[in-house]
Amino acid sequence: MKNNILRGLVPMMTLVFFLTFVLSCSTSREDDYDYFQKLAEWGGARLDKPGEIRARVAEELKKYNETGDKKFLISSRYTESFVDLKNTGKSSDVLGLYQLPIVYDLLKLSNGQYRFVTASCNFNLAVKFEKNSPKLAMQFLDKAIAAEEQSGGRYFLPHLYHFKGRLYYNAKDYKNAIIYFGKALKIHDAKKDQLYIASMHNNFAMCYDKMNQMDKAVQELETAVKILENIPKPKLEVVYFLAKVKVDKGYYQYKLKEYAEAEQTLLTQLEFYRNHPEQQYETIVCLRYLFNIYKDRNQLDKIQGVLDIINTIEPKLKDIANQIEVDEIIQSYYAYVGNDTKVKELSFRLMSLHEKQDEASEKNFSRVSNALNDYIIKNINQRYEHTLEDQKLRNTFMFVLILLLVIVFFFIFVTIRNKYRKDKELAVKEKVILQKTKTILENNIKLQEDKISSLHLNLNLKIETEKEFLEHIKKVKRSKNADAEKTISDLFFKINNLIQIDKKNYDLINESSLENRQFVDKLSARFPMLTQQDLKYCVYFKLDLSSKEISLLENITEGSARVYKTKIKTKMDLGKETDLNSFLKTI
């Protein structure tokens, strides 16, 4: 009964768990990762073609209006984020904050359903808040990493690990920085991502430099240089990065007091930068390293050469940070030669530049604060909306679950009740059958008892008649003048009595013979190696006749009867512990 109920419950409980799974997963769906990845690659290749991007925005909106699929609404907003993306980071929008409303809308629309969008938007926010709010940037980055790892790390993951390593590096946590740079290195494609792989080795070098492990730093830097120099037909970005890495190499040589090698390396790169005036910051860094070398070696003529170059590029500098770097080099020179007037003059100039920089930083901080406040408010509103949606979903789920439980319990009740009724009816029928069977068996037993009793009486009568017949024969034998006709008549009468007794026992004898034939047939089929004589002895053994009784019937000795029994057991392959008589009764 329990098994039948369980079999009935399986489909119902399966339905309950299936609906539970569907309801619990209603906030997630197939995230169309590949669709958004291709869209990102398409937009990234057309940053200088805003017209095409706007046309694609309209196309995605049209798909949304035709299908009602939210994916296309999100894809239209995502495509819109590529418009003027190339200008992000320039003076018009230093932090790229103009994109924040789009990013917030994308996160709200996606609501965690589209992992590519979740990873992309959180990565975008992490980059924007890297300098002004590293802690918040790390939070955004962790969300991006979680979404990307759930998707199998197909697109962003190496760059996310790289960026997390950079955040740790900026926080002076160099050990964790190395860990995440290493994670990025492991999943970069060795054939396609040579620039990124070289960048990871350069990052290792920077970490080891900060940890005062200069041998490892130089080793990693040499690896980066080798990778970059072996890239066939390098793009301009590869050339620029190789120049930067070689400047770092000159700096490490300087720290190791290998002044001649450092000077040669830096002069080579300075010549490169003079041919690429757009690399202003890198040029200034190279000049500062050369200035430090010449100052340490007291080479005033070479210092003057550095200052001449600085005086050439200084009027072209627009970035305040670059102007400060240049003036600090000049101030260091005048302090070195003991020109206090120039040092004081440059101090005032640097104060003015720092004030401008602080003012710009304050403006940026204000913009970031406003953006953060806006994000917090929107996040709170979004969480509130999600809470309401989740509550509605939970209520719906509870209603459906309760309804399903009622149906399940009703099904269980009906099943148990029907099963009880069927079992009760079956028990009544079985009771009637058992009663009838019992009556039939009792009648059969009584009939067999009567037959056996009759057989015993007839056998006793036959025995007495046979004794009387035997005595009569002895009497005839002793009598010498007996009447032959009368004697024959008496013998005929007694023989006829014996025949009549046998006729009365014919039915019982016939039944016994039939049972014996059936037994012999079964035994012969099961053990074909038994002879007819073996089968006859098996009948005796089944009837529990003793060796003495068998010897009288077959006119053999008791020992021979026992030998026959042993041979038959051997032929039937029965063990010594098996009783032949009991075994034969089971057949």
Tokens of 420: 């009880």
Q: What is the pLDDT of residue 273?
A: 92
CATH assignment at residue 525: 1.10.10.10
Domain assignment present for 74: yes
Tokens of 377: 């408010």
**Residue after which a domain boundary falls, among 102, 128, 151:** 151
* Strands annotated E in 354-494: none
Domain assignment present for 348: no
Domain assignment present for 269: no
**Residue after which a domain boundary falls, among 119, 151, 183:** 151
Q: Which parts of the chain sit beneath pLDDT 50?
A: 1-30, 88-95, 506
Domain boundaries, position 549: 513-585
Tell me how far CA of residue 406 lies from CA of 322, 392, 394, in angstroms.
75, 21, 18
Tell me how far CA of residue 190 lies from CA of 179, 193, 196, 424, 540, in angstroms.
19, 6, 9, 76, 92
Closest by CA to 85, choosing from 36, 50, 131, is: 50
Domain assignment present for 450: no
Model pTM score: 0.58
Domain assignment present for 14: no
Instruction: Read off the amino acid at residue 220.
Output: E
Q: What is the pLDDT of residue 380?
A: 54
Q: What is the pLDDT of residue 285?
A: 93
Domain assignment present for 110: yes
Closest by CA to 196, choosing from 222, 227, 226, is: 227
Domain assignment present for 17: no
Domain count, the chain: 2
Domain assignment present for 61: yes
* Contacts with 249 (C-beta within 8 Å, 6 or more apart), sequence order: 218, 221, 222, 225, 265
**Residue after which a domain boundary falls, among 130, 151, 172:** 151
Closest by CA to 153, choosing from 115, 97, 126, is: 115
